[in-house]
A and B are shown apart, each in its own frame.
Chain A
Amino acid sequence: MGKVILEMRNICKTFPGVRANHNVCIDLREGEVLALLGENGAGKSVLMSILDGFYQPDSGEIYIDGRQVRLTSPQAAIARGIGMIHQHFMLIPVFTALENIILGLELKGDPFLRREAYRSRVQEIIDRYGLAVDLDKRVADMSVGEQQRVEIVKTLFRSASILILDEPTAVLTPGESRDLFRVIKQFQADGKSVIFISHKMDELMEFSDRITILRQGEVITTFDTAQTSIKELASTMVGGDVQWAQNVHEKTAGDIRLRLEDVCIRDQREVEIVKHVSLEVRAGEILAVAGIDGNGQNELAEGILGLRHITGGRIYADGEDITNASVKSLLERGFGFVPPDRKSQGLVLDFSIRDNLLLEEMDRPAYSSRGFLRHREILRFAKELIGKFDIRPANPDALVKNCSGGNQQKVIVARVFSRRPRVLVAVNPVRGIDINATEFIHRRLLEQRKDGACIIVVSTDLDEVFSISDRIAVICQGELMGVCDAAAVTPEDIGLMMTGVRKEDASCG
Chain B
Amino acid sequence: MAKKNKELDGKIIGDNLCSLATILNDTGLCNDTGPLTHAGNFCSKNATATDYNYKFNYLEFNIPNQPGIVPSVCDQLKLRFSIDLIGIIDNEEDNTVKNPLKALAFDLELSGLGLTDQAEEMSLHSSWHLDKHIRGKKDGLTKFSHPEYHLAFGGNKMEANDGMYGGSLIMPTPRLAYPPMDAALGVNFILQNYFHKDTIAGILSNPIYRRIILESQERLFLPYAKSFYSNWFNIGLKFDQFFQPVDIFPLFIN
A binds B: no
Interface residues of B (CB under 8 A from A): none
Residues of A within 8 A of B (CB): none
